[in-house]
Amino acid sequence: MKNRLVFILILMALLLTAACLSNPALEKVKQGDVYRDLKQWDKAIAEYDQAIETNPELVQAYVSRAFAYTMKGEFDKAIADCNKAIKLDPKSAEAYAARGYAYTGKGDLDKAMADCNKAIELAPKLAQAYTYRGNAYASEGEFDKAIADCDKAIELDSDIALTYYTRGFSYQGKGEVDKAIADYDMAIELDPELAQAYLSRGIAYTGKGDFSMAIADFDEAIALAPYMAQAYANRGNAYAAVGEFDRAIADCDKAIALAPDFALSYFVRGRAYHAKGEFDKAIADCDKMIELIPDFAQAYVNRGAAYIEKGDPDKAIADLDKAIELDPNLSLAYNNRGLAYYAKGDYDKAIADLDKAIELDPNLVQAYNNRGRAYYGKDDFDKAIADFDKAIELYPEYDFAYYCRAFAHVAKGEIVEALADFKKCIQITRSPALAEAAQQEVAKLEP
């Protein structure tokens, strides 16, 4: 009985081999699929080309080539191949699903949904159709629907990396970062060369404040896809977060060289220039950011902050007015406008704006410190000290808050407390200029 089973298996293998040999077009498709799995899209397409040349009516060849074109970003070619496949076989669920995926890439989400719906109608157990529809939902920001489709796809086939990536992206969109990372982990386990998964996981780690993990993921994304501008820009953002501003600028330069219209690169580079005190360069990057996305409120906030540093509070206020017009709930815009009014000596307007900033974000540390400075300007030293106390309570290593509180204590004649604050500032600050200024005040106060 055992020998007979072995004989049957060998016979089936021989028949399958013979079938492939008798169908050279199908053999070319299989070879193309090998290149596809290696992400060698041009080689895969060349094999599919030969398959179609050998057999112009082989639906599978058009569908497979469409997927390869989609992965290359050549969506119109992908759609044309799917159209041909559907003309040859109007009941090809795979062709509708593949066309839906291509339409998503092209940004035509209504057509993507319609095609994926048709694929599911024709083949209710086709996992890819749910994955692609989930991808379209995610692109529309309908994250719950995307997650539901991905859940269904995983139920049908748990080995599709794109499904986990799409669900992870959707969880990330909902702010469920840990779930997103878990799905990206699974996507990478299934497809260790899925550059987009490393990029998205890096962004998730950035959101958690885990910049070393984020940078490692961006490194991997760049190694796999050196042309990916988003990876350089996001790595630059992570570098800026840990104070490595020159590296941040270098990454943004690379991102801009690859994609001159990718706005995030200018946003991140502008912040890095600001941190380095290169305010004209920061303003130039904000100008470009605003040119690319005129309704992005944060760009006006950042440019306003640079104008404050340059001693031009009127231009700062104009920018911050615009930011607040675009987003009335942006606490940092009120904080910065309050700082600009403070620079003009208009302490009442400064306090009103800083009150609003604190109302919107009770944990906005700098707003308390800035309001304390405004109260100090009005000689209301008790209120100033109360605000400096709150800033230090929220951030015990806030060097400038100790420095400011020390002056309020001096104004009240509280020299012991003032000396303690100046010395604390010297102890914790990373700014040589601030340390020197505090040391000079200590020298004035000590006998």
Q: What is the pLDDT of residues 112-126, one digit of tens each?
A: 999 999 999 999 999
Under a CB-based contact definition with an 8 Å cutoff, are residues 234 and 202 in contact? yes
pLDDT greater than 50 at residue 14: no
**For 286-307, what is each residue's pLDDT tens digit?**
999 999 999 999 999 999 999 9
217-244 tens-digit pLDDT = 999 999 999 999 999 999 999 999 999 9
Q: What is d(CA 29, CA 126) in angstroms, rounded to the nearest whole number?
A: 20
**Structural domains of the chain in order of their starting residue, each with its CATH number:** 380-447 (1.25.40.10)
Contact criterion met (CB below 8 Å) for 135 and 166: yes
Q: Tokens representing 96?
A: 């509708």
Mean pLDDT of the chain: 93
Task: Please give the DSSP secondary-structure letter assigned to residue 90.
Answer: T
Evaluate if residue 147 carries a pLDDT over 60.
Answer: yes
CA distance linking residue 270 with residue 278, whole number of Å: 9
Q: How far is CA 359 from the centre of its chain?
A: 28
Taking the C-alpha atoms of residue 412 and residue 424, their distance in angstroms, rounded to an integer, is 19
For the chain, give the percent of residues with pLDDT over 70. 95
Does the structure show a pLDDT above 90 at 1? Answer: no
Q: Distance (Å, rounded) from C-alpha 445 to C-alpha 447?
A: 6
**In this structure, which amino acid lies at residue 419?**
L
State the pLDDT at residue 186.
98
What was the pLDDT predicted at 22? 54
**pLDDT one-digit tens code per residue, 34-52:** 988 888 989 999 999 899 9
Q: Per residue, what are the HEC states of 46-67? A: HHHHHHHHHCCCCHHHHHHHHH
Distance separating the N- and C-terminal Cα atoms of the chain: 106
Contacts 24+ apart (CB under 8 A), 103-109: 103/75, 103/79, 103/136, 104/132, 104/135, 104/136, 104/139, 105/70, 105/73, 105/75, 105/78, 106/75, 106/76, 106/79, 107/139, 109/136, 109/139, 109/140
